[in-house]
Homo-oligomer: A and B are copies of this chain.
Amino acid sequence: MTILLYDLVGHDEKRPFSPHCWKAAMALAHKGLDISTAPTRFLEVPAIEGGVSKTVPVIRDGDKIVVVSFAIALYLDEAYPDRPTLFGGEGGTATARFIERWSQLTIHPYVTTAAIVDLHGMQDEENAAYFRRSREQRFGKRLEDVVAARDAGLTAFRAALEPLRSMLSYQPFIGGASPLFADYIVFGALQWARVASPYRLLESNDVVAHWFDRCLDLHGGLGRKVEAAA
């Protein structure tokens, strides 16, 4: 049976960009599950499946609807225990939550800063207006004033990745010898930046960039099927 993934897009349906949807897409691919995607714009999210969620990803698996990427990963491991694990046991499930909070609080704010004008530019007219209105309200400033901070913040952002960088001297993936959902959590954040913005977050000789490249290669190069923003 095919699982339906509601995936956030802008005016180009072929360029899904949401970090959280990428986490779900990678999790589904990791499990080897067949999926179809329903390209969804910001303003269409509240109508998904009769209004089950204010955010994406949302998946429908038969009669089962699951929202929020972490919950989707948990659901997939529970519903499909015979397929490759996303967490590698109870310990991995628990500690993935720490990594999720780290990524959300360390990587997401800077990617938002760096890519916010590009993200606006990816939307169709109606969604661009919504994006500008909602984000400018959240930040209390114009998108153009948010992005103005990105150059000044770049060095600190790269330094903040040091735990990931240091870990990569021990093992090739956060999940160890092979990737787990913990990798997809962090991958999603950097893939969001890659798809939305040409701004260079990582130096090419950074081991974090090498790990990200390995993630782009996974599952038949799923992440690479969407070209980097130019």
Contact = CB atoms under 8 A, between A and B. Distances in A.
Nearest to A186: B98
Interface residues of A, number: 34
A219 interface: no
Contact of A98 (B87, B90, B174): B174
Contacts of A89: 88-92
A91 B97 contact: no
Contact of A176 (B90, B105, B106): B90
A121 interface: no
Interface string A75-108: 0000000000101111111111111111011100
A contact patch SS: helix
A94 B163 contact: no
Contacts of A100: 167
A182 B102 contact: no
Nearest to A92: B91
A95 B182 contact: yes
A173 interface: yes
Most chain B CB within 10 A, of A91, A92, A97, A177, is at A91
A91 B98 contact: no
Interface of A: 85, 87-102, 104-106, 162-164, 166-167, 170-171, 173-177, 180, 182
Which 6 pairs, one residue from A and one from B, show the smallest C-beta to C-beta distance?
A91-B92, A88-B91, A89-B89, A94-B176, A102-B163, A95-B95
